[in-house]
């Protein structure tokens, strides 16, 4: 789960990591007032669930409150498109107004999960404020990585090595050691996949400060953090994605016209691959999970049909232990409820598959049966062609 | 022979009294698995479907001689259940539970270093040695005893692959679903190494996904060590970058973990890669005939 920059900064601040003074605003008037409070000269930062905001015009230094207000009016009114949002962009509902800080040096600092070592690792670089992936590709020697043993945790001497490698000296170096240890503490206590400060800066007056922050929570740890759902900004999510989430379904919007309902992520990706192979373009991707139930199938079907781009539906369920007649009933129930007349191709496998097929064929729906993965994909593409 | 499981494996089920725990216990027993015990803290002393239930794994092992555990314990207590299994001296734990926090798994995985127990999963379909023993949630009927070892990061896509193998007449020695979570027990290489030494396994089919670098790592290991033909399929060639495709596992970030790169590395390392998910069985057959 993603959260906004200002929320990430609130968390870091609670763990003793210095961040710039700032206020979150919901209207352009509030932005103006906040700008006055910061002394006129300040940074206006659009809050969206994507990076690359600077390139999209979502982060700007302004010199007086009126200018901040003008910029805010413009940002609140449109969808911000950045290299990471896709062409549709994301709507700006909140703006962070921060004091302008005189920066002497910029660094990159993050803690994230490393699958290969099955541990958290600390990543640091003296090349801050830029795309860290680019640095990693062009000059990997400028990136310092430290794998953290969960038994010992991150030790001060290890953090010091990193701070020294960044070229920090004296008291700033010791400040950085403390900051790194606090970052690790935040990562564990808040159950994060990623905590990232980019850039971490040294100000001209010699203080460390997190100028931008990104946190990604581990959804699986939600049961330990009752406050997380309240932090979610629904304006940043697709409404259908939100609906799907309520039923524990995973929905992703794509560009084509075939709605896809599949159980399991691997099979779902393989289904997209095979549709492309036959010349089809998926409109979305709905994963009902490995053990699909009748209710889930019915809800999933309704969500798919709410997408106006959908001109036909391909259902690919490898039920395994799940009974196919039950899945068929779920489809028939949902399609009937929303009066679906679109072409449907169903490919099912599992027990009672013949009974399931029979139910579908007798349902009066515009449905065909796919005998296997390839046959099903070919049929739906032909029905739409 | 086979790997990890055979007809003599004695299986206990942690979380046997839960709804899906009990359902799948019955399914596994119907398939022929020797389910000797269940463990649910606080419910020790009862029998469920004729299976004795114990409070701890240690007790269950003491009274029944179980050597394998199948874990259905809910996420908040699942990592603890894995460690309990390891402490009780089991040889193998198969953790089906989906949704264990990463922080818990980082620690559990670290504690398992240096213990003899192997862990498969979490968030996986399990392990099956067709015709002998099933410890997992996969449908037994699609499998057929034979000579192909199957290892996969996916769940239902594994069923699709196995079905295709069976349809082209290729039975399986053992199928291992290693799970799609970021932190897992056995990885591709650990399973491949076992298949390499198993006399019953003549070739291996591997199923990967976009995201991470596990497939590339496995490809290089195959090039340097594998004595048997390997075929593979990688799902997600057409998946949009930067989006999480339903799994914690399947995500492409920063140009890393793309399907094309994985396919290229696998091919360079001598693995036969299926060009389409409809041709997994056919590709395995072709790899054997070379």
Q: CB A272 to CB B277 under 8 A?
A: no
With beta carbons under 8 A apart, name residues in chain A contacting B215.
Answer: none
pLDDT tens string B119-147: 999 999 999 999 999 999 999 999 999 99
- The Cα–Cα gap between B219 and B213 comes to 10
Shortest distance between the Cα of A378 and any Cα of chain B, in A, equals: 11
User: Omega into B234 within 30° of 0, i.e. cis?
Assistant: no
Q: pLDDT tens digits for B59-86?
A: 999 999 999 999 999 999 999 999 999 9
Report pLDDT digits (tens) over A307-327.
889 999 999 998 766 788 888
Residue A272 near chain B (CB below 8 Å)? yes
Asked if A30 has any chain B CB less than 8 Å from its own CB, the reply is no
**Which value, to the nearest 10 degrees, does the dihedral of the CA atoms of residues A314, A315, A318, A319 take?**
180
Least confident of A8-22, A40-54, B25-39: A40-54
Q: What is the CATH number of domain A103-229?
A: 3.30.470.20
Domain boundaries, chain A: 21-99, 103-229, 238-384
Contacts of A119 in chain B (CB under 8 A): 106, 110
- Look at residue B179 and tell me whether its pLDDT is greater than 70: yes
Residue B163's Cα: distance from chain center in Å?
17
Tell me if A221 and B102 make a contact (CB, 8 A cut-off): yes
Mark whether A251 is an active-site residue. Answer: no
Domain assignments of chain B as residue spans, ordered by start: 1-123, 138-290
Beta bridge partners of A90: A80
Q: Provide the pLDDT for residue A340.
A: 86
A223-256 confidence digits (pLDDT tens): 999 999 899 898 888 788 788 878 878 888 888 9
pLDDT band per the 50, 70, 90 thresholds, residue B247: very low
Partner-chain residue, chosen from B109, B160, B237, that has the shortest CB–CB distance to A267: B160
CA atoms of B6 and B48, how far apart (whole Å):
24
Q: Minimal Cα distance from B163: which residue of A? A: A349
The pLDDT-based confidence of A10 (bands split at 50, 70, 90) is very high
Distance from CA of A68 to the nearest CA of B (A): 32
pLDDT value, residue B243: 56
Residue B220 backbone dihedrals phi, psi, to 5 degrees: -65, -35
Domain B1-123 matches domain B138-290 at the CATH topology level? yes
Give domain B1-123's CATH architecture. 3-Layer(aba) Sandwich (3.40)
> Is residue A66 within 8 angstroms of chain B, CB to CB?
no
Lowest-pLDDT choice from A104-108, A347-351, B155-159: A347-351
Please indicate if any CB of chain B lies within 8 Å of the CB of A248: no
**Catalytic, out of A32, A196, A299, A378:** A196
> What percent of chain A is predicted at pLDDT more than 90?
65
The burial of B18, by beta-carbon neighbours within 10 Å (0-12 exposed, 13-18 middle, 19 or more buried), is given as: middle
Residue with the bigger pLDDT between B232 and A227: it is: B232
Contact of A133 with chain B, judged by CB distance below 8 Å, is answered with yes
Counting residues of chain B whose pLDDT is more than 90, the rounded percentage is 86
Q: How many cross-chain Cβ pairs, A to B, lie less than 8 Å apart?
A: 170
Please indicate whether residue B249 or residue A8 has the higher confidence score (pLDDT): A8
Does the domain made of A21-99 have the CATH classification 3.30.1490.20? Answer: yes
Report which of A360, A355, A371, A366 is spatially closest to residue A333, judged by C-alpha positions. A360
pLDDT at A121: 94
Average pLDDT of span B177-190: 95
Tens of pLDDT, residue by residue over B10-41, are 999 999 999 889 999 999 999 999 999 999 99
Q: Which two tokens stand for residue A331?
A: 């489809």
At residue B249, the pLDDT reads 45
Residue A137: C-alpha distances to residues A108, A130, A177, B135 (Å): 15, 13, 27, 43
Whether the per-residue pLDDT at B91 is higher than 50: the answer is: yes
pLDDT in tens, A276-316: 999 999 998 888 876 667 888 888 888 898 888 999 999 99
Instruction: For residue range A94-150, list pLDDT tens digits in order.
Output: 999 999 999 999 999 999 998 889 999 999 999 876 677 777 778 888 889 999 999
Determine the average pLDDT of the residues in A208-225. Answer: 94
Say whether domain A238-384 belongs to CATH 3.40.50.261. Answer: yes
Out of B110, B160, B254, whose CB is closest to A133?
B254
Let me know: does B188 contact B178? Beta carbons within 8 Å.
Answer: yes
Strands B68-71 and B51-54: unpaired
Mean pLDDT of the B42-69 span: 96
Tell me the three-class secondary structure of B68-102, residue by residue.
EEEECCCHHHHHHHHHHHHHCCCCEEEECCCCCCH
Give A-chain residues touching B24 at CB under 8 angstroms.
321
Here the ipTM equals: 0.90
Nearest CA in chain B to A273: B238
Q: Does domain B138-290 have CATH number 3.40.50.261?
A: yes
Give how far A270 is from chain B: nearest CA, Å: 5
Burial of A157 (0-12, 13-18, 19+ CB in 10 A): exposed
Per-residue pLDDT at A374 exceeds 60? yes
């Amino acid at each position: 789960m993603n959260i906004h920059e200002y929320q990430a900064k609130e968390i870091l601040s609670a763990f003793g990591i210095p961040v710039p003074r700032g206020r979150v605003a919901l209207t352009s008037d509030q932005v103006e007032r906040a700008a006055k409070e910061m002394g006129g000269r300040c940074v206006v930062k659009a809050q969206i669930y994507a990076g690359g905001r600077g390139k999209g015009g979502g982060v700007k230094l302004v010199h007086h409150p009126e200018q901040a207000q003008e910029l805010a009016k413009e940002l609140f009114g449109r969808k911000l498109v950045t290299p990471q949002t896709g062409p549709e962009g994301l709507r700006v509902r909140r703006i962070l107004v921060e004091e302008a800080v005189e920066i002497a040096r910029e660094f990159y600092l993050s803690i994230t999960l490393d699958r290969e070592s099955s541990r958290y690792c600390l990543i640091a670089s003296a090349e801050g404020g830029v795309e860290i992936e680019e640095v990693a590709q062009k000059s990997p020697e400028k990136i310092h990585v430290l794998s953290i043993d969960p038994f010992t945790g991150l030790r001060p001497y290890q953090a010091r090595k990193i701070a020294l490698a960044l070229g920090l000296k004296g008291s700033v170096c010791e400040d950085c050691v403390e900051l790194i240890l606090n970052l690790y503490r935040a990562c564990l206590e808040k159950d994060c996949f990623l905590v990232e400060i980019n850039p971490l800066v040294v100000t001209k007056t010699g203080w460390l400060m997190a100028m931008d922050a990104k946190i990604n929570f581990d959804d699986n740890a939600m049961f330990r953090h009752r406050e997380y759902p309240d932090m979610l900004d629904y304006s940043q999510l697709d409404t259908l994605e939100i609906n799907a989430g309520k039923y524990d379904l995973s929905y992703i919007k794509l560009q084509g016209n075939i709605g896809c309902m599949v159980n399991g992520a691997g099979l779902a990706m393989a289904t997209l691959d095979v549709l492309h192979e036959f010349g089809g373009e998926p409109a979305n991707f709905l994963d009902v999970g490995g053990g699909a139930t009748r209710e889930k199938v019915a809800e999933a079907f309704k969500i798919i049909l709410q997408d106006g781009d959908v001109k036909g539906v391909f259902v690919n369920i490898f039920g395994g232990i799940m009974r196919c007649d039950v899945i068929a009933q779920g489809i028939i129930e949902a399609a009937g409820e929303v009066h679906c007349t679109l072409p449907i191709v169903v490919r099912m496998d599992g027990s009672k598959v013949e009974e399931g097929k029979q139910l579908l064929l007798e349902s009066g729906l515009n449905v065909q049966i796919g005998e296997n993965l390839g046959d099903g994909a070919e049929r739906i593409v032909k029905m739409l062609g | 022979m086979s790997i990890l499981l055979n007809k003599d494996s004695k299986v206990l089920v942690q979380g046997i009294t839960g709804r899906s725990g009990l359902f799948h216990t019955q399914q596994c027993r119907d398939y022929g698995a020797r389910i000797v015990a269940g463990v649910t803290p606080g419910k020790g002393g009862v029998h469920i479907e004729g299976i004795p239930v114990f409070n701890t794994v240690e007790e269950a092992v003491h009274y029944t001689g179980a050597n394998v555990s199948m874990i259905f314990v809910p996420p908040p207590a699942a990592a603890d259940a894995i460690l309990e299994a390891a402490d009780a001296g089991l040889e193998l734990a198969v953790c089906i539970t989906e949704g264990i926090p990463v922080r818990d798994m980082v620690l559990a995985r670290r504690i398992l270093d240096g213990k003899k127990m192997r862990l498969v999963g979490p968030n996986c379909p399990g392990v099956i040695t067709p015709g002998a023993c099933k410890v997992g949630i996969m449908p037994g009927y699609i499998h057929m005893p034979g000579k192909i070892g199957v290892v996969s990061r996916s769940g239902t896509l594994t069923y699709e692959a196995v079905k295709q193998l069976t349809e082209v007449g290729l039975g399986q020695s053992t199928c291992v679903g290693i799970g799609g979570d970021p932190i897992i027990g056995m990885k591709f290489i650990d399973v491949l190494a076992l298949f390499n030494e198993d006399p019953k396994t003549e070739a291996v089919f591997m199923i990967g996904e976009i995201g991470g670098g596990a497939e590339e790592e496995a490809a290089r290991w195959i090039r340097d060590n594998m004595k048997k033909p390997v075929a593979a399929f990688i799902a997600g060639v057409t998946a949009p970058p930067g989006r999480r495709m339903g799994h914690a596992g399947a995500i492409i970030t920063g140009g890393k973990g793309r399907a094309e790169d994985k396919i290229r590395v696998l091919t360079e390392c001598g693995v036969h890669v299926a060009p389409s998910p409809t041709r997994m069985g056919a590709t395995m057959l072709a790899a054997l005939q070379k």
